Structures are given as structure tokens and as C-alpha cells.
Amino acid sequence: MKLFVGLGNPGAKYAGNRHNIGFMALERIAADHGFTPWRKAFQGEVSEGRLGREKVILLKPATFMNLSGQSVRAAVDFYRIDLADITVFHDELDLAPGKLRVKQGGGHAGHNGLRSIHAHLGEAYGRVRLGIGHPGHKDAVAHYVLSDFSKADQGWLDDLLRGISDGAVALAEGDGQKFMNAVSLRTAPPRSSGGTASAGPAAGPPGRKLPPEPKPAPKPEPEPDARSAMQKLMDRFR
């Protein structure tokens, strides 16, 4: 059994916040993979289902971000889940919008939700770090994360959530690289190799000059006309 935890703040007021992208990821997985309706449990909301061979519990703590560890600890104690089988989805300021990284263990980097989970469980659980970008100054962080995603963000955000859902089975089965590849196919699809070749000269390797194009061969000189004046006049009237 695996436990996927999405971090965020409860209530409609916060639903569209950047800080709630962890909730959004779990909601997309639940909707796309036929999980049970959300129900209240463990000081949060829970949905259950299967991803490939694995039974998965989805948990959205309703304790507010700073107390997320209370909810996670209650679920872990009930299901007797090992830390290695827990994955926490959370917003990440240090990644560009739409970028994603998978990490096992490590510090909380000042994230209040992770800090709370660390306090209750330690640091050996997995994380999916969901890039939201940085506002540029630390004093603007609180307002930034508690503000809604803008209309301009909706394109990459939808691609990211679709990719997370596409790769959810691989993540549940422990294949982090396959999971990230599935996300990448949504957020950075490969470019087509087709297209018409340029009609101009081919470019050489960087820093190397191409040899000059060969000059056209000179036209041969016309042979002198050996006809007499009378022959020229007769040929003209033929």
C-alpha cells in the first residue's frame, strides 16, 4: 500500500492558490483513475483506489499547511505505512513553473508543510516537488504562494497535472524516472523532426568557416570567322 499526500490549505478561499498545487495533483489523479469519492478522515480528506498493482490512499490534510504532519501521522499510524511508501506532493519555489522533481528524503528547505511532517515522522519519505517559480524577493513569498495562479499559468499548470496523472502508475510502482518521463511528454513534448530543408547553404560546425563556393568555369572564346566578305553576304540571304 502507498500513501500519496497533497499539501495545501482547506476551503474554497485557498483552492486556487499556488500553495495548493499538491491538492490539485491528487484531485487530478483521483478523477482520472476512478478513485472513491473523497471522505473525511485523519483530520483531512481521503480517497482510495488502485494505480497499477498498488493500492493507493490519497490524503489531503485539512489542518492547514503548518500542521500537515498531524494528519499524515494519523493516516500512517492507522494503515501502518512505511516512510518509504509515502510520497508528498508540494509546491516548490526553487523550481521554474511547470518543472517537477522527485526526491527521497532530505531537508524541508523551509517549507512549512514539510517541516510539520518532519516533526512527526522524520525525513525519510518521498516528495514530488512541483515548481511554481519564485517572486524574486523573500519578502514577497507569503503573498505569492497564497495568491491564485494567474490566467497565464493555466496552460502549463494543466499540462503538469495531466502529466502527473499519466505517470501516476509508474510513481506508485516505484519507477520515478518513468514517472518524470510521462510528465515531460506533457510539459515538453519532443519536436517533430520533419520539415523542409533550407534552400540556403548548409551551416558548418560552430566556429568553422565553410570553404568558398567554386567559381563558374569561364566561357570559351568564340573561334574567329574565316569566311570572306562575299561568303558572309551570300550566307545572310540564304
pLDDT at 57: 98
* % of the chain surpassing 70 pLDDT: 80
Active-site residue identified among 19, 33, 90, 111: 19
Q: Is 221 exposed, middle or buried (0-12, 13-18, 19+ CB in 10 A)?
A: exposed
For residue 228, tell me if it sits in a domain: no
Q: What are the tens digits of pLDDT across the range 64-100?
A: 999 999 999 999 999 999 999 999 999 999 999 999 9
For residue 219, tell me if it sits in a domain: no
Do the Cβ atoms of 35 and 98 come closer than 8 Å? no
CATH number at residue 172: 3.40.50.1470
Question: Is residue 33 among the annotated active site residues?
Answer: no
For residue 137, tell me if it sits in a domain: yes
Contacts of 31 (CB under 8 A, 6+ apart): none
Determine the 3-state secondary structure of 70 from DSSP: helix
| Counted domains in the chain | 1
For residue 104, tell me if it sits in a domain: yes
Average pLDDT score, the chain: 88
Domain region containing 37: 2-187
* Mean local confidence (pLDDT), 45-70: 97
Do the Cβ atoms of 163 and 178 come closer than 8 Å? no
Over 50: is that where the pLDDT of 22 sits?
A: yes
